[in-house]
Amino acid sequence: MNPAPTTHESNDSHAAPRTVLDASDISRALTRIAHEILERNRGADPVVLLGIPTRGVGLATRIRDRIAAVEERSVPTGSLDVTMYRDDIGLKPARALEHTDIPPGGIDGKVVVLVDDVLFSGRTIRAALDAIGDIGRPKAVQLAVLVDRGHRELPIRADYVGKNLPTSLVERVTVHLSEYDEEDAVVIADKPAPERRPAGAGPTASGGRTVGGEGQGASAPGSAGAGPTASGGRSVGGGAQDAPVPASGEGTTGKADEEVQAR
Ligand SMILES: O=P(O)(O)OC[C@H]1O[C@H](OP(=O)(O)OP(=O)(O)O)[C@H](O)[C@@H]1O
Ligand SMILES: O=c1cc[nH]c(=O)[nH]1
């Protein structure tokens, strides 16, 4: 298995932005993820793709198109706004609401594959699990991300990872997609100083609910035996492949024996 993304603390606070994935890297990663989704779910039948706005929606659409090219059918694809489920509401500047668009067949009994561009603290995905819980009861929820940059604050892992990217907390990963930006690229750059969260800052918003330490790679991808899923026991799903937590290295899907069941 390829190594999980490590984390490191950089002393070089003004490194030049660098492109870590270009358009063809992104394209190849999405093609691989589409195949992995089909392989793991034995085809497209049970799958519903839900992108998390903004760029998760574009990525979900691209994965849908790749699945269609292989299976000659289009999997239901929609979007899931998690804004009202975030645990930092009131602590950070208000965010605009995005679209939730659930495909007509709904999500009950389906395998929902959440799609996002970056996995970092895991708080967005925790919010997504809560949002899903208010919509229906899928058979399973899986998680696909283009970039896993480590630094998890919650016991969440992705099932499908485009690229595991070791990062420092002073850095920010930005995904550019041609649907929204001028090009396809993943860029890593230093954050402006005010945006940096100090090492050991602990919970950002959840009143002591954070699991794992900042910068410790808590439940980072690749760590077997990670704890429960992210929504305080409310996670959906019921099978061995049910929660968006399995370990995965770059180019690998999570293995069933490393997965944690959500009940
Ligand atoms: O694992 P997390 O710490 O939750 O970070 C990951 C999230 O951060 C980004 O969204 P962001 O909230 O920055 O808003 P954006 O979609 O406008 O980029 C990104 O699109 C993910 O959704
Ligand atoms: O680096 C980061 C962290 C959170 N979300 C992003 O999109 N990039």
Give tens-digit pLDDT for 42-59.
999 999 999 999 999 999
CB distance 149 to ligand 2 below 6 Å: yes
Q: How many CA atoms lie within 13 A of 190 on its CB side?
A: 11
Quote the tokens at residue 164.
């595991």
Identify which of 87, 99, 118, 175 to mutate to test ligand 1's pocket (most ligand atoms within 8 A of the CB): 118
Residue-level pLDDT at 251: 38
Rounded mean pLDDT of 109-125? 98
Identify which of 80, 120, 214 to mutate to test ligand 1's pocket (most ligand atoms within 8 A of the CB): 120
| Residues 39/13, Cβ–Cβ less than 8 Å | no
pLDDT by residue (tens digit) across 173-216? 999 999 999 999 999 999 887 666 555 444 333 333 323 333 33
The letter for the amino acid at 33 is: I
pLDDT at residue 156 is higher than 90: yes
Tell me the pLDDT band of 4, cut-offs 50, 70 and 90. low
How large a percentage of the chain has pLDDT more than 70? 68
CB distance 54 to ligand 1 below 6 Å: yes
Pairing of strands 185-190, 171-176: antiparallel
pLDDT by residue (tens digit) across 236-261? 233 333 445 433 334 333 332 222 22
Nearest to residue 35, comparing CAs of 255, 185, 251? 251
Tell me the pLDDT band of 95, cut-offs 50, 70 and 90. confident
Find the 72 Cα to ligand 1 centroid distance in Å: 32
CB distance 118 to ligand 1 below 6 Å: yes
Nearest CA to ligand 1 atom 15: 54
Top CATH class of 22-258 equals: alpha beta
Residue-level pLDDT at 89: 84
Quote the tokens at residue 255.
């293995």
| Residues 161/145, Cβ–Cβ less than 8 Å | yes
Nearest to residue 115, comparing CAs of 105, 103, 124, 104? 124
CB atoms within 10 A of CB 164: 26
Calculate the average pLDDT of the chain: 78
Q: What is the ipTM for the molecules in this complex?
A: 0.96
Q: Which ligand is nearest to the CA of 117?
A: 1
CB distance 117 to ligand 1 below 6 Å: yes
Say how far apart CA 23 and CA 182 lie, in whole Å: 11
The atom number, within ligand 1, closest to the CA of 156 reads: 1
